[in-house]
Structure 1
Amino acid sequence: MTWKCALCGEADNETPRCFGTEAPWRAMVPESEFDQRVELTADQCVVDEKAFFIRGHIEILVHGQSEPLAFSVWSSLSERSFLHMSERWRCADRADDPPYFGWLSTDIAVYPDTINLKLSVQSRAPGLVPLFTVAPSDHPLSLEQRQGISEARWHEIVHSILHGR
């Protein structure tokens, strides 16, 4: 299905629903040292064996849509939480685990200052990445996650991400 940006008229092949980054804080490790210092999978990242990250989704309800807008982002975790989550990764009941505390470790360009926002990191069933909830605050990302966004705002976000405007 072709999606046409309501703001600029440019067409894309699919309706964008999820945006993400490949690694947390990639800039914290020089490219030339990345392979030696970073252990990276699709869902986990360890830097220098002392900084621990997990990939998950921040989901935002789009009013009038059946699927949310999702940002596939990274959260730091304590070593203890990271190891516990890793041990429970394939457990069928992991969604019943209490949430972990994390810090958002991804810059989401359509929002101001997202690095180090407080997160609740909730495991979900195997096959699903954890769900991140931004701690209640007056930060625009927190407000939009709690209240949802209009289709017009969704189009503004997609337009900004896809077209850099």
Structure 2
Amino acid sequence: MAIFAFTCTCCGRLHEGSPSVAYSSPWHYSQLTDDEKTSLAKIDSDLCRISSGDQTDYFVRCVLEIPIHGVDDPFIWGVWSSLSEKSFRRYVETYNEPVNGDVRISAIPDSHFSVMADSVSN
């Protein structure tokens, strides 16, 4: 018997095991009006850019795994992290060839990054 069970809001099915919580967008994006989202922002499931005037904010969705004492599976928390433009570009450009010391834990398809990387400079 599972320690936890929940009905998924995406697929409607019952899942058992440790819960996961994720945010579909950074808080900053959620505060934009629909018009601002269209005109100022570019977002997909893991990368976000918001430009307003002379300022651009960059975000990457991250996964934090938090161990649960006495349970095999961790609590998984999908959060958004704000990055500088330099760090955002480095993340996108070195994703498939990490530099020694960089941490990469993800299963995002290669094509995902080329689309967002092209949009970063626009």
Q: Same fold (TM over 0.5)?
A: yes
Correspondent of 1:72 among 73, 78, 85: 78
* Secondary structure in 2 matching 1:70: strand
* Secondary structure in 2 matching 1:53: strand
Letter of the 1:84 counterpart:
R
Gapped runs of 5+ residues in structure 2? 8-13, 109-122
1:93-112 equivalences under 5 Å are 94=98, 96-98=100-102
* Secondary structure in 2 matching 1:97: coil
Q: 1:2 to 1:46 in 2, by over 3 A?
A: same
Give TM-score, length-normalised by structure 2. Answer: 0.66
RMSD of aligned Cα (Å): 2.6
Letter of the 1:45 counterpart:
C
Give TM-score, length-normalised by structure 1. Answer: 0.50
Partner Cα distance (1:4, 1:53) in 2: 31
Offset at residue 32 of structure 1 (A): 2.5
Partner Cα distance (2:63, 2:105) in 1: 14
Gapped runs of 5+ residues in structure 1? 6-10, 99-122, 129-165
1:1-165 equivalences under 5 Å are 12=7, 13-15=14-16, 16-25=18-27, 26-48=29-51, 50-91=56-97, 94=98, 96-98=100-102, 123-125=103-105, 127=107
Letter of the 2:101 counterpart:
D
Q: 1:70 to 1:23 in 2, by over 3 A?
A: same
